[in-house]
Amino acid sequence: NRSHTPAKVNSACKNSAHWMRDWKYPTVLLCIYGFFSTVKPLEPFLIPFLTGPDKNLTIEQVTNQIFPVWTYSYLAVLVPVFLLTDWLRYKPVVIFQCLVLFSTTAMLLWCNGVLEMQAMQFTYGVVTSCDVAYFTYLYSVVEFKHYLKATSYCRTAQLLGYTVGSVLGQILVSFELMSYDNILVFTLVLTGIALISSILLPMPKTSMFFHQMRSARGETDGRTNESAAGMSPKPTKISGCCDVLLRLWRDFLQCFSSRTLLVWSAWWALATCGYNQTVNYVQSLWDYVEPSSNFTVYNGGVEALSNLIGDANIWVCYCGYIIFKSLYMLLITIAMFQIAAGLNMERYALVFGANTFCALVLQTIITSVVVDSSGLGVDIVTQFTVYGTYFSIIALIFFLSGLYTTMCRKPEMETQRENPEEMFKAEDDAQIIIGTKF
């Protein structure tokens, strides 16, 4: 039995090493990171916390002076972070994001005053700009055939973290199990767990642009064919900054030369801009409709029912927000699929980075003109009137565009019916194109 012990140990070590090299190991760690970094129990109660006795800020200071800083900082650091993420090969940026998230939570806990809270919003803008490293890291360490599974697992972990954080926060606040300060301390512990998982992530050997391994006998542009695989070319490292920027620009022009991708990207950017504005300031609207200082805590079923009936104004806002966010999540998923259908990994990151940047530019314009105290600095009701008008204009534009496209397609379909040979030829061509894409 003793003679078999070293063999068993060696076998266990080999199995462990093999599992750590498998795609499941980084995916599991990234899921752990995605879950614990998104559990934020205080986030739904940020306005009551900032305007309550803990920070003693006014709703005007929070809405018109503090919250706009997040938009400005997000836009300012997005492009540098996008390039640094690729240059540093993702993992350092994931760790950096967790450290800055820890700092943001600590500042929220221990700092006071408008300037300190503006600094907190700046650091949170840095945190959100680092989100690009999450999935790009995944795609750098996972083989293409596992993309779908790994992406679904990591995205599910994130959404589960947001959901658990919201539900947990409601329970802790409603039943007075923790104070706001203790909730923030608890969030720091969760962020610490996320930090440990990020440190354990394996370091990628390549990246999409700066450290990409290309074949010495020719590029495959992210696609593998039988002839290229059979040649077994010697890889060479591409790291020139000018070469990378030039390639990014060429890929950008080539991607957005597609009308379909351009339309979906326009919808994505416009919708995301309005969505971010709504989510960022909706708590201020809720506090206006039903001040948090007067809001009764739900301590039981009977009391909850009475509050549900008595506070019907506020519940109209809640229900409208649920419908709005659900529709956005559904439609943005469709838009993301339509955009990504014919793109390889490099262009996927480029297009979504460009869309996010456009959304932030629009959001910055709206924030600086409508929200910021140095601009118009309008009240919260007027703000949401502007947002509603904004979404109505977008809806009208895309409705008319869709109607025009539908009306133009009818004559084409009738012409194809009159010429069946042309119709079959068009279908064959479409099959060839689809087959080529996949």
Per-residue pLDDT tens for 276-311? Answer: 999 899 888 888 887 766 554 433 344 444 444 555
Q: What is the pLDDT of residue 186?
A: 97
User: Based on the domain organization, do 180 and 250 belong to the same domain?
Assistant: no
Query: Residue 331: pLDDT band by 50, 70, 90 thresholds?
Result: confident
For residue 108, the model assigns a pLDDT of: 96
State the pLDDT at residue 369. Answer: 94
The answer to whether residue 328 is domain-embedded is yes
- The 10s digit of each residue's pLDDT in 309-320 is 555 687 778 888
The pLDDT of 360-383, averaged and rounded, is: 92
Which CATH number does the domain housing residue 47 bear?
Answer: 1.20.1250.20
Q: What is the pLDDT of residue 311?
A: 54
Kindly state whether residue 9 falls inside one of the protein's structural domains.
Answer: no
Share of the chain above pLDDT 70, in %: 75
Domain match, 199 and 281 both: no
Q: What is the pTM assigned to this prediction?
A: 0.78
On whether the CB atoms of residues 102 and 402 are closer than 8 A, the answer is no
Whether residues 197 and 242 fall in one domain: no
Query: Tell me: the pLDDT tens digits for 62-90?
Result: 999 999 999 999 999 998 998 898 889 89
Instruction: Identify which has the larger pLDDT, 437 or 164.
Output: 164
Q: Are 158 and 147 in contact (CB under 8 A)?
A: no
Q: Which amino acid is at 376?
A: L
Mean pLDDT throughout 169-180? 90
Same domain, 365 and 270: yes
Q: Which of 146, 178, 204 is the last residue of a domain?
A: 204
Q: How many angstroms from the chain centroid is the CA of residue 342?
A: 21
Least reliable range by pLDDT among 62-76, 102-116, 134-148: 134-148
Shared domain check, 198 and 248: no
Decide if 3 is inside a domain.
Answer: no
Place of tokens 């204009």: 393
Residue from 192, 371, 210, 160 nearest 278 by CA: 371
Question: Cβ distance 66 to 114 under 8 Å?
Answer: yes
Interval 230-252 mean pLDDT? 64
Contacts (Cβ under 8 Å, ≥6 apart) of 228 = 215, 218, 220
**pLDDT above 60 (res 92):** yes
Residue 212 lies in a domain: no
User: Is 182 inside any structural domain?
Assistant: yes
Say whether both 125 and 198 belong to one domain: yes
Residue closest to 57 by CA, chosen among 48, 68, 70:
48
Beta pairing partners, 385: none
**Average predicted confidence (pLDDT) for the chain:** 80
- Note the pLDDT tens digit of each residue in 224-235: 443 333 433 444
Confidence at residue 222, expressed as pLDDT on a 0 to 100 scale: 41
Q: Is the model more confident about 224 or about 169?
A: 169
CA distance 97 to 75: 16
What CA–CA distance (Å, rounded) separates 238 from 207?
10
CA–CA dist 104, 58 (Å, integer)? 21
Same domain, 277 and 197: no
- Residue with the bigger pLDDT between 185 and 163: it is 185
What are the φ and ψ backbone dihedral angles of 239, each rounded to 5 degrees? -140, 5
Does any domain span residue 213?
A: no
Q: Among residues 156, 182, 204, which one ends one of the domains? A: 204
Instruction: Show which of 181, 204, 227 is a domain's final residue.
Output: 204
Shared domain for 271 and 153, answered yes or no, is no
Residues 171 and 262 grouped into a single domain: no
- Asked whether the beta carbons of 91 and 137 are under 8 A apart, the reply is yes
pLDDT at res. 10: 60
Asked if residue 193 and residue 264 are part of one domain, the reply reads no
- Cβ atoms of 172 and 41 within 8 Å: the answer is yes
pLDDT over 60 at 435, yes or no = no
76-90, 95-109, 166-180, 421-435: segment of lowest average pLDDT = 421-435
Tens digits of per-residue pLDDT, 395-416?
A: 999 999 888 888 887 665 555 5
Query: Residue 186: inside a domain, yes or no?
Result: yes
Place of tokens 């973290």: 161
Residue among 269, 268, 283, 266 nearest 383 (CA): 283
Please give the residue range of the domain that contains residue 34.
20-204
Number of folded domains in the chain?
2
Residues of the chain above pLDDT 90, percent: 41
What is the pLDDT averaged over residues 162-175? 90
Do 150 and 31 belong to one domain?
yes
Lowest mean pLDDT among 147-151, 207-211, 430-434: 430-434
- Whether 319 is in a domain gets the answer yes
Same domain, 74 and 119: yes
DSSP string, 16-34: HHHHHHSTHHHHHHHHHHH
